[in-house]
Amino acid sequence: MPIKEYQNLFKAIFEQSAFPMQIFGVQGDLLESNRAWEIMFQSSREEAKGYNVFQDPQIINSPVLQGLKNALKGETVELAPFYYDPQKSGNNGRTRWIETCIYPVFNNKGEVEELAVIHKDVTEKMETQLALVRSATERIAAEEKLRLISERLSLAVKAGKIGIWEWIPGTEEIQWDETAENIYGAIPGLLPKTVTSFNELVHPDDRDLVYLTITGGLRNRKSYRVDHRIVKPDGAIRWVQMTGVSVYNENNSPTLMMGTVMDITDRIEAIKTRDEFVSIASHELKTPLQTLILHNQLRKRSMMKAASDDLCAKKIEQMIETDLRHLSRINRLIDDMLDISKFRSGKLNFIKEKVEFTTFLKDVLDRFKPQVESVGSYLRYQLCEPVKVEIDTYRMEQVIVNLLTNALKYGAGKPIHIELVKSETEVKVLVHDQGPGVKEEDRERIFERFERAVSPEQVSGLGLGLYIAKQIVEQNNGHIYVDSRAGGGSTFILDLPY
């Protein structure tokens, strides 16, 4: 077949091929492009005139450049999919993913004369793969985010000592985590995780409340919260707060109930303590206030009668003295309440200094004598030689006055004996009263908040004096305790280092 006919045949095949094809000269100039190439890039051959592949920035900065160089050496080159955007190279056309094969075309001398480039449009395939990769990446990222959230939630739950449980309504089995198991006091593996065993842990007096709360939540499709008592296997009674919420299917039937459980015993005790404190404080403040009101009413009547005789003046003087005692009592009650608040917040300040303790104690006792004598008692004291001690004098006076006031409450009308004893490393202040004494089992308890050796009906007060005294003494590096027996009086002992 004549050469011209071969050339015409080649041109026909080149033009009608379904594969996008281009012919480049060895200098990189574009010689020919076929119709399939125009369709792939949606660009015309006319627009591509003057294009040089070796001047294309996208080609120069990609593996395609090396492929062209290898083809110029006579190698047939297959390139991996390559993302090409004609507009970044100053041409018209749409971006595509293409696979490319480069074939060297030789002349009669065996030299590479041209490069035939066949493209394959793999855009849909690559975009599908990339979409899958993105989806997988997003899924992995979502799973990682969920894992982190789950871990943080787990840490928060553990830090808050919150147990988690699950139950499928209508079944007997309950699932709960380790924290919940600890709250209920269950020994792992020994307590069956069943509805029956759970009911047995609920305090008998609270079982109806728990049952009605849970069934009400299921019936009303609402979350719930219930505070109730439990009886742990060792017999200890604790308060817990249980919450729950249900999941429903398309038939509005509950398929799962889950929730939390938390030990709130300390919170309940704190509320009880607060209520008790408010009750005691109200009672203690009300009594002197009522007396003050009555005395003021009596004075008003006397003044209205314009009484000026010595007897009436004496009565008014006595009323004023009584009022001052009651006002002093109210002031002490308020000071005690303020001190408790400062102790709890860590804001009670101490200013320590070296003082001669024997003289300091004698001055406090002398100032307290009138109050002792007003209730028919008297002070006897026996002091040691002078000794210097580093203390906060204001707060230490508060301690001694609290001990004397305590002795007056329980031993009114009887003598109070105070001793100051010095040893090699400390001084001891001993306050002896002739009250009813303190039982052995109560000797630690009476130094706690709102505690007394007898009932509030027998002796008034907030039950804070000894607690405050203990806190102050310990802040001054000392120790306070009681030595007593029921019916035989009490000796409160204050030890201070020097």
pLDDT tens across the length of the chain (498 residues):
555 665 667 677 888 888 999 999 999 999 999 999 999 999 998 888 889 999 999 999 899 999 999 999 999 999 999 999 999 988 889 999 999 999 999 988 889 999 999 999 999 999 988 888 888 888 887 677 757 655 665 665 666 688 888 888 888 888 888 888 888 876 665 567 788 888 888 999 999 999 999 999 888 888 999 999 999 888 889 999 999 999 888 888 888 888 889 999 988 887 776 666 665 565 556 656 666 666 666 666 666 565 555 556 666 666 666 666 666 666 666 666 666 556 555 556 777 889 999 999 999 898 888 878 877 888 888 988 999 999 988 888 889 988 988 888 887 678 899 999 999 899 999 999 988 888 888 888 888 876 655 544 444 455 677 888 888 898 888 999 998 766 678 999 999 998
CA 449-281-293 angle, to 5 degrees, is 150
> 64, 92, 121: which is the final residue of a domain?
121
**Residue 155 resides in a domain:** no
Asked whether 155 and 149 are in contact (CB, 8 A), the reply is: no
In a domain, 468, yes or no: yes
**Closest Cα to residue 401, out of 490, 492, 462?**
492
Q: Does residue 207 share a domain with residue 170?
A: yes
Query: End of a domain among 312, 345, 378?
Result: 345
Distance (Å, whole) CA 407 – CA 201: 47
- Whether the CB-CB separation of 486 and 476 falls below 8 Å is answered with no
Q: Indicate the burial class of 344 (C-beta count within 10 angstroms; 0-12, 13-18, 19 or more).
A: exposed
Residues 6+ apart with CB under 8 A from 144: none
Residue range of the domain that includes 193: 160-263
Nearest-angstrom CA–CA distance, 68 and 79: 10
Run of H or E residues at 231: strand 224-231
Distances (CA, A) of 31 to 12, 49, 116: 16, 8, 10
The CA angle 360-361-362, to the nearest 5 degrees, is 95
In a domain, 234, yes or no: yes
**318 and 358 housed in the same domain:** no
Give the SS3 label for residue 382.
strand
The H or E element that residue 361 is part of is: helix 357-373
Query: Residue 486: inside a domain, yes or no?
Result: yes
Domain boundary, last residue among 345, 369, 392: 345
Q: Quick one: tokens of 379?
A: 């002070």
Tell whether 364 and 493 lie within a shared domain.
yes
In a domain, 142, yes or no: no
Q: Considering the domain boundaries, does residue 391 fall inside one?
A: yes
The reply to whether 329 falls in a domain is yes
Q: Which of 181, 169, 157, 166 is nearest to 230 (CA)?
A: 181
Same domain, 365 and 490: yes
Domain assignment present for residue 197? The answer is yes
Split into its structural domains, the chain has a count of 4
Q: Rounded to two decimals, what is the model's pTM?
A: 0.41
In terms of C-beta density within 10 A (0-12 exposed, 13-18 middle, 19 or more buried), how is residue 285 classed? middle
Cα angle, residue 276 at apex, residues 273 and 277 outer, rounded to 5°: 85
